[in-house]
Chains A and B, each alone.
Chain A
């Protein structure tokens, strides 16, 4: 089995990260696996981790009475899930549920925050990468609310 450092380095999130920084990350990392239907996180719980997805598909959901579970988006291999660990009050704002068998690297939020405070170079490096993920998610969310296929894609007349 590949070690954590190896698995991390292969993931786009950590690509190009200096070895020293990577080692610091590994110190906060653990391997996790979720069966279909299992929750990675639940709304309101402390956001003590985030996930670097290696395999599988995870739905980001919200529950609405009368409508049931609404999937806002899904994330999969190559994606990073969760930034609540970085933003106070460090609580999950959505549910994360595995749709298929999901393998991920969980990174401990408290551990990382402490290391980032102590090592601002690492903190800045990490922040850039998380910001990139957030920016992509925001763009996707904006496109999604446009409801592009609603009435704009038909043939004329």
Chain B
């Protein structure tokens, strides 16, 4: 980042940004409050943002609380991630029509207007990059993902506070977004002026930034922005020691730790649903009563379900302990072998939304303890 090119836009001057994006054909999606949680949905204007709200998060707990200011981005991540935009939770794969003995298969049109992610956090952008590798990075490209992902505009927000279950610092994905965006904002609330440091990272980002009234960033602005990100960095609610983690998990394919966590885990699938990188799906086949028309849909699935590994002879992973082990081992170990990175970005959602508060960082800690106690 070249600090000399950074501009500062006041709260009032930021107002046109969603409209500028919409004028360019984007569907603007950003954080907004629905049913007492901050989710991602279509927004019309900055007024749709959770202005003056923050979230309190802990293992198995999430609630909104008023802030003492009117910050636009004074919270961390909620139950939604961006994956639902590119990798929908329920989508039609094809329709089948019977004509006598023939069957005709038709794929639905995959056209989709480009989306602008408004207020994307560093952890979530890391998650988007990971899903890009899953769906676009091999010989087989997922056309549904490709179509929705294509041309997406990203307005990132660097985090200046960390939530109770955040650990992006450990996973080296945040709190500052370093790539995968067109524009990045740092919200500055001090010095009597509500303003945003604006950084553009692409030509189309610059084109839009140029239309916002701005002034050059002062050294005080830059220092405040740095301090904000530093504050987030040093106040992470969780830590995860990633040193040698891949082999740690592989070494503990058989461990009492899995039985212990299975006593608490409900196999409810929440962690996989809120995880921004979990990509598993199943399919659902339906036909109408005349048996002339059928369709197949693709739905998000979870490795915590019994049917996930069903074979003719029964399921492979019948125990909860084996399913938890599969999930965490995939996330933190085999993901490296498959996609060249961790499958965890440290967003903390799986901890917050677990009904019994199972904490991925604690479970890794337990493995390390188990290893320590066995060492000579």
Chain A residues close to B by CB (< 8 Å): 151-157
Contact = CB atoms under 8 A, between A and B. Distances in A.
Contact of B310 (A152, A153, A156): A156
Given A154-B313, A157-B312, 10 more contacts: A151-B312, A151-B313, A152-B312, A153-B312, A153-B313, A154-B311, A156-B310, A156-B311, A156-B312, A157-B310
14 contacts: A151-B312, A151-B313, A152-B312, A152-B313, A153-B312, A153-B313, A154-B311, A154-B312, A154-B313, A155-B312, A156-B311, A156-B312, A157-B310, A157-B312
Contacts of A153: 312-313
Interface string B300-334: 00000000001111000000000000000000000
A100 B312 CA distance: 38
A157 to B, nearest CB: 7
A106 B69 CA distance: 98
Contacts of A157: 310, 312
Contacts of A156: 310-312
Interface residues of B, number: 4
Contacts of B313: 151-154
Contacts of B311: 154, 156
A152 to B, nearest CB: 4
A155 B313 CA distance: 9
Interface of B: 310-313
A40 B173 CA distance: 75
The A interface is mostly helix, strand or loop, or mixed, namely loop
A156 B310 CA distance: 7
A152 B316 CA distance: 11
A43 to B, nearest CB: 36
Contacts of B312: 151-157
B317 to A, nearest CB: 14
A156 B312 CA distance: 5
A151 B314 CA distance: 9
Nearest to B312: A154
A127 to B, nearest CB: 36
Contacts of A155: 312
B143 to A, nearest CB: 25
A16 to B, nearest CB: 38
A50 to B, nearest CB: 39
A153 to B, nearest CB: 8
A56 B313 CA distance: 37
Contacts of A154: 311-313
Contacts of B310: 156-157
Nearest to B309: A156
A153 B313 CA distance: 7
A68 to B, nearest CB: 31
The list of the 4 closest CB pairs from A to B, nearest first, reads A154-B312, A152-B313, A156-B311, A151-B313
B18 to A, nearest CB: 47
Nearest to A154: B312
Nearest to B313: A152
Contacts of A151: 312-313
Contacts of A152: 312-313
A152 B313 CA distance: 5
Nearest to B311: A156
A157 B309 CA distance: 11
A151 B313 CA distance: 6
A152 B25 CA distance: 54
A157 B314 CA distance: 10
B281 to A, nearest CB: 16
A154 B310 CA distance: 12
A21 B215 CA distance: 101
A156 B309 CA distance: 9
Nearest to A152: B313
A152 B312 CA distance: 7
A47 B310 CA distance: 50
B306 to A, nearest CB: 14
A151 B312 CA distance: 7
Nearest to A151: B313
A156 B307 CA distance: 11
Nearest to A150: B313
B133 to A, nearest CB: 27
A54 to B, nearest CB: 40
A37 B356 CA distance: 69
A156 B282 CA distance: 14
A87 B311 CA distance: 44
A112 B313 CA distance: 49
A153 B312 CA distance: 7
B270 to A, nearest CB: 27
A147 to B, nearest CB: 11
A152 B310 CA distance: 12
A154 B311 CA distance: 8
